[in-house]
Structure 1
């Protein structure tokens, strides 16, 4: 039996560790309490900052910028560079509050808050403090924002199309005396403004427009295409790239309305040559017919708006359209367990003995190492790499392109725009105005791409003009009126070097509408391919 003395001797060696453990527990408790107090302090500070953001200096006019994504950087920079002189404050709101804060920076006139468009109370609080609302949100989110802004009597400026769900608020905006300025980016936006300036100039000189063609493309600069056989990289929303052209494209050709369904769109691309000799290919862009009224082109027998790509893109992209890889109407539940080769093979007729490359070559009637097959191979769609994602075919393709088509450090993007307007002048002579724009983005500042700059600067300039008391509308308007487009085009040219090179030439042989010819044609079946299957 142990005596008390022995017990004390045995436990003496544990006394210090026990005291240390007790101290550690106490310290841990103290740290936990301090951490909880810090979290609570940060919460209160965030709440205070949010309250301050939503209650700006009444001496300043307030801009609420909704969306801090790819194209918002030059817009926010423009507003903040002028904020002190103009006495503005800028609230940047985004679902990703850290992204919003990064765009607002530490500028004393800027604040950032979290945005949830579905939270009506939160959205109301943001819009209610604004003198102008700028929406850089995805197009599907504009309508509820615009509806609420009209109810609060707030003007709205955005770069997106005036879709039917936006135009349905036109009467309410007019009744409220509120301008809703849509299509104030690059395409749509600068294309409208520059085209209408040309058309109005022709009319002012007594001319009559007979044919109108306009093309715009968000591309990558030639020097940044050497590592990518598609010659395409993402400078805007990748989802919009994948879904581009869906529906039916319409235009007017020699007085006849033409329709191009989605499954024919990319196979009916045509070559377009700029005045400097640069060749692109173009496909019809959405509904060109709506711009007959917008541009006042009742006398024109041809009205066409198109989208530009580098040659070879459309033929390869058409493969994805024909196979169904751009379909966004259903989810592939097992896609996360597939390889990219299995994903592609799931859209091809099955032959157990053939590789997916051979199956696709046979389906396309293309040689195994044609330019089209090389583009698809380069994307990794024949590889055994796992997808590790679920979603629609379009979503899976989008995720792949986000990786393969990303702009790398030092890359420069390119905006190209071309107007060709055939007209009869006051003397009865047939002539053609040609107006071309090429703008490259920064190689060093990822926020200052050509796409972001040309999308957001017209929005910024329009916002400034409303803040400074100029009146427009009311109702849903696009920038086709002189009082809107002339000052914007002038500032873009004078302050940012965004200007067109124009020429005006006689049309030998008069005006005649050509068709919208097929550029891409399928090659004859290869005997080698047929023999191997």
Structure 2
């Protein structure tokens, strides 16, 4: 990929590690953010910081530049269209959306890079899943298989648990919307769809610690993405989801009631942000684990492997930001 200049759009708490890495590596980089003052405080390093104005961004673009969007997911499409119109490459860390289908074809036809899901979850989780599936295929014959189960869980939370069992490093609105978004997955060979994923919370133990997990979004398309379609009749369980601290569902009981009753998420988000932000210098923790297991024709387990990341850092250069950017 021949990139002339990188335009990093959006400087939240997840952005500094990625930006500082690019600066250190000597890339031609400009940063764009609504607040240049906020961006300067976070980066603390020599880098060109522009106030985000899409008209000015368009004037600054040249063919083969790369736009990296770290803005909210609903703003990626407009930036992707700008990138295509200026023959630029485009990358973001959010989920792929069906609204990108036509646009992605334009990028391919023009030999430009278009990448989504290049963060932690989605992102690194895909890498771990692919490694497990490749290893599975190398070691297990399909004819020896009776059932297969896949689980991928990811979450971030304070290293030292608080009463709320969670803290926010950016606006809570995204977390709240996700809890209101339907989830689809496979359990006991059946497709399950649930309107409110938090109603399917269950307790697990991982590395001698107790956690809670629940399904997230639509897991089904990832059977094909992970090249597991040949096992479709063998898949007993297949779920991608979120992991939280033990006791999270109890601590969030009132929040669940408000979400179920369709209360205004904007106001709820502002309230939660005031009460549950990370403190200065507080450490966060990221846990991502992916497990693939299988039973043979005799019902006994013939494969069971887990890959995971368990990372903790200071919130200024947080574990979450290190993994996302």
Q: TM-score, normalised by structure 2?
A: 0.89
Q: Residue 288 in 1 paired to residue 160 in 2?
A: no
1:156-190: CA deviations, max 9, x gaps? Answer: 12111111223341221221111211101001111
Task: Answer yes or no: is 1:406 the counterpart of 2:285.
Answer: no
Counterpart-to-counterpart distance in 1, 2:171 and 2:261: 15
**Is residue 15 of structure 2 the alignment partner of residue 72 of structure 1?**
yes
CA distance in 2, matches of 1:229, 1:207: 48
Provide the residue aligned with 1:423 in structure 2: 294
Checking the alignment, whether the CA contact within 8 Å between 2:156 and 2:285 is kept in structure 1 is yes
For residue 32 of structure 2, what is the aligned residue in structure 1? 93
Deviates more, 1:313-322 or 1:198-207: 313-322
* 1:434 pairs with 2:306: yes
CA distance in structure 1 between the partners assigned to 2:259 and 2:165 by the alignment:
22
SS state of the match for residue 301, structure 1? strand
- Describe the SS at the equivalent of 2:179: coil
Separation in 2, partners of 1:207, 1:454: 34
Where do 5+ consecutive residues of structure 2 fail to align? none
Equivalent residue, structure 2, for 1:320: 255
Q: Deviations over 1:463-517 (max 9, x none)?
A: xxxxxxxxxxxxxxxxxxxxxxxxxxxxxxxxxxxxxxxxxxxxxxxxxxxxxxx
Three-state SS of the structure 2 residue aligned to 1:212 is strand
TM-score (norm 1): 0.55
Q: Which residue of 2 aligns with 1:213?
A: 151
1:41 aligns with: none
Matches of 1:326 and 1:396, distance apart in 2: 14
CA distance in 2, matches of 1:397, 1:149: 35
- 1:141 counterpart SS class: helix
Encode CA deviations 1:341-382: one digit per residue, 9 max, x unaligned: xxxxxxxxxxxxxxxxxxxxxxxxxxxxxxxxxxxxxxxxxx
**Aligned twin of 2:321:** 452
Unaligned runs of 5+ in 1: 1-59, 329-392, 457-533
Deviations, residues 115-138 of structure 1 (Å, cap 9, x unaligned): 13xx4x323123337622111111
Per the alignment, in what secondary structure is the counterpart of residue 100 of structure 2? Answer: helix
Q: Which is greater in Rg?
A: 1
Measured in 1, the distance between the counterparts of 2:151 and 2:136 equals 15
1: CA distance, partners of 2:138 / 2:127:
16
What is the Cα deviation at residue 141 of structure 1? 0.5
Distance 1:191 1:324, change over 3 A: closer
Name which of structure 1's ranges 396-405 and 429-438 shifts more when overlaid on structure 2.
Answer: 429-438
CA shift for structure 1 position 267: 2.8
Distance 1:106 1:198, change over 3 A: closer
Q: Secondary structure at the match of 1:406?
A: coil
Aligned to 1:483: none
Note the C-alpha offset of 1:62. Answer: 1.4
1:132 to 56, 66, 77: 66
| 2:139 counterpart of 1:267 | no
Shift of the alpha carbon at 1:219? 1.2
**Cα deviation per residue 1:361-407 (whole Å; 9 max; x = unaligned)?**
xxxxxxxxxxxxxxxxxxxxxxxxxxxxxxxx322221221121111
Question: Deviation digits for residues 445-475 of structure 1, max 9, x if unmatched?
Answer: x43101111000xxxxxxxxxxxxxxxxxxx
Q: Does the 8 Å contact 1:127/1:133 carry over to 2?
A: no
CA-to-aligned-CA distance 1:403-422 (integer Å, 9 cap, x gap): 21111133211111122211
Greater fraction of residues in strand? 2
CA distance in 2: counterparts of 1:92 and 1:323, whole angstroms: 38
Distance 1:188 1:399, change over 3 A: same
Q: Are the counterparts in 2 of residues 272 and 282 from structure 1 also a CA contact under 8 Å?
A: yes
Distance 1:259 1:297, change over 3 A: same
TM alignment of 1:21-420, pairs within 5 A: 61-83=4-26, 88-103=27-42, 105=44, 107=46, 110-116=47-53, 119=54, 121-128=55-62, 131-208=65-142, 210-221=148-159, 224-225=160-161, 228-262=162-196, 265-274=197-206, 276-298=207-229, 299=231, 300-324=235-259, 327=262, 393-420=264-291
In the TM superposition, residue 424 of structure 1 has moved relative to its aligned partner by: 5.5
Instruction: Report SS of the residue matched to 1:447.
Output: helix
SS in 1 for 2:108: helix
The DSSP-based 3-state class of the residue aligned with 1:441 is: strand
Length, aligned pairs only:
314
Answer yes or no: is the 8 Å Cα contact 1:284–1:305 preserved in 2: yes
Moved over 6 A (4+): none
- Cα RMSD of the aligned pairs, angstroms, is 2.4
